[in-house]
Amino acid sequence: MRPVYLDANATTPVDPDVLATMLPFFTEHFGNPSSPHGFGAVVAAAVKRARGQLQSLLGAESDQEIIFTSGGTESDTTAILSALATQEGRNELIVSAVEHPAVLALAQDLAKRAGVVVHVIPVDGRGRLDIDAYEKVLGRQTALVSIMWANNETGTIFPVERLAAMAHEAGALFHTDAVQAVGKIAMDLQSGAIDMLSLSGHKLHGPKGIGALYVRRGVPFQPLIRGGRQERGRRSGTENVPAIVGLGKAAELAAFHLYDEQTRVRELRDHLEAGVLAAIDKCIVTGDVDNRLPNTSNIAFDGVEGEAIVHLLSRDGVAVSSGSACSSGGMDASHVIRAMRLPFTAAHGAVRFSLSRDNEKADVDRLIEIFPDIIEELRAVSPFWRKARQPAKPQERLYA
């Protein structure tokens, strides 16, 4: 039986058309885009085309607003450090509690440094940002707000345009980690207020190790990596040309497939969710179900470990993910799930199903076919499950 991949938010395969576009740039078109001769010129033109393809997907005003980087993590890091360096007299950073580690780990490190203050804004039980808490800390000291467009674990979409407008009123810059949103949601940055935006190739059927940072024209910028002044001095190092060309093609294809993502993939996701909820008791969909990515479903199963679910599904050829991380005391629910304050026994059973245009109905049907037995198998040996079955426990109220 062919393996079933339901982990597209972790990474996606390179689209065959993307690969075909890349291949000549390893061999025939190997020139350095900075070279003044013909070998360089043909490659420089290809890099420019890729920049235009990204500009078009994002609805940016100019292709010069696109800087190629090594991926989402570098783009996030560049944006945050740039804003803190350029926003004179402002030393505060605002992030949400559910950011990707690319933002959160940097924010935690910056908080330990003298002179930088970090505010972490909580979310509610549905994963929505606490707007009042945000408004309260936003002020004359805020250098940058960095809040993701869509969460990678629950798919919850944040009102980034509104948050950006609020940041501007306080004179602060606004960055968004849009790694999960690009290619799944239509964007028109030129008519909005977002100053900087991160994206990554491998989350949208492009290659790994390539990404981009959008920096709106006129926004002050300081490079993370200095050197030979590639990317107009904003990101030095000889360009990863095959990957850049591949990312450009992936962006073009993402625009083409956006409708499929919003319709067929969304229906597949809804079919998966309905099937799982109908077959298994004591489980809930986490995150903002009314406002989330079309491809993502995060479901918390009471009385089982998400990590155990992932392993048993993997045994049967189905790939999903749990955000849990190993810690000294055992398994920790992910920071995203913990931030939503789910009851303990549900939080530990959170599993993420994330689809892409590569999935078919047969994939979802296969999951629904094997999943109830797996949950039953795990619950039969789970002390949490037996405990959760005792009457009048507070967590029961969640399912009322």
Question: Which residues belong to the active site?
Answer: 326
CA distance 125 to 275: 24
Give yes or no for residue 179 binding ligand PLP (CB under 6 A).
yes
Among all chains, which residue has been given the structure tokens 């250098």?
Answer: 143
Which region among 50-58, 69-77, 220-228, 262-270 touches ligand PLP (by CB under 6 A)? 69-77
Q: How far is the CB of 222 from ligand PLP (least distance, A)?
A: 20
Q: Burial of 113 by CB count in 10 Å (0-12 exposed, 13-18 middle, 19+ buried)?
A: exposed
- Quote the CA–CA distance of 380 and 398 in Å, as a whole number: 22
CA angle 232, 235, 241 (to 5 degrees): 90
134-163 residues near ligand PLP, rule: CB under 6 A: 148, 152
Candidates 38-46, 106-114, 172-180, 386-394 — which segment interacts with ligand PLP by CB under 6 A? 172-180
Out of 53, 180, 240, 382, the residue judged to bind ligand PLP by CB under 6 A: 180
Rounded (to 5) percent helix, strand, coil in the chain: 45, 15, 40
Distances (CA, A) of 277 to 178, 256, 351, 361: 29, 32, 13, 17
What gap in Å lies between CA 20 and CA 352, rounded to an integer? 31
Region binding ligand PLP by CB under 6 A among candidate stretches 71-79, 162-170, 302-310, 355-363: 71-79
In whole angstroms, how close is the CB of 399 to ligand PLP at the nearest point?
30
Please give the DSSP secondary-structure letter assigned to residue 202.
Answer: G
CA-only gyration radius of the chain, Å: 22
Q: Footprint of ligand PLP on residues 260-299 (CB under 6 A)? A: none
Query: Of these, 7, 65, 177, 231, which contacts ligand PLP (CB under 6 A)?
Result: 177
Whole-number minimum distance, CB 224 to ligand PLP, in Å? 13
Residue 120 CA: distances (Å) to CA of 97, 107, 143, 210, 226: 5, 9, 14, 28, 30
SS3 253: helix
* Per-residue x/- track, 206-225, ligand PLP (CB under 6 A): -----x--------------
The smaller minimum CB distance to ligand PLP, of residues 180 and 345, is found at 180
Segment near ligand PLP (CB under 6 A), from 107-115, 155-163, 177-185, 348-356?
177-185
196-200 and 211-215 strand pairing: antiparallel
Q: Is 200 in the site for ligand PLP (CB under 6 A)?
A: yes
Residue 123 C-beta: closest distance to ligand PLP, Å: 15
Q: Which helix (H) or strand (E) holds 4?
A: strand 4-5
User: In the bound complex, what is the minimum distance in angstroms from residue 229's beta carbon to ligand PLP?
Assistant: 24
Q: How many residues bind ligand PLP (CB under 6 A)?
A: 13
In the complex with ligand PLP, which residue's Cβ is closer, 11 or 32? 11
Cα–Cα nearest to 201, from 90, 340, 66: 66
What's the min distance (Å) between Cβ of 145 and ligand PLP? 16
- Tell me which of 31, 33, 72, 294 binds ligand PLP, using CB under 6 A: 72
Q: Coil, strand, or helix at residue 380?
A: helix
Binding mask 75-114 for ligand PLP (x = CB under 6 A): -------------------------x-x------------
Q: Which residue in the set 31, 33, 71, 207 belongs to the binding site for ligand PLP (CB under 6 A)? A: 71
31 φ, ψ to 5°? -60, 165
| Exposure b/e, 361-380, CB count within 10 A at least 16 = b | eebbebbbebbeebbeebbe
Query: Do 59 and 187 touch, CB atoms closer than 8 A?
Result: yes
Q: Compare residues 118 and 197 and give the one whose CB is closer to ligand PLP.
A: 197
* 246 lines the binding site for ligand PLP (CB under 6 A): no
Residue nearest ligand PLP by beta-carbon distance: 72
Please state the closest distance from residue 214 (CB atom) to ligand PLP, in A: 14
User: Which two tokens mark 396?
Assistant: 């029961």
Shortest Å distance, C-beta 334 to ligand PLP = 13
Instruction: Return the range that interacts with ligand PLP (CB under 6 A); candidates 110-118, 176-184, 320-328, 370-378.
Output: 176-184
Q: Which positions lie near ligand PLP, rule CB under 6 A?
A: 71-73, 100, 102, 148, 152, 177, 179-180, 200, 203, 211
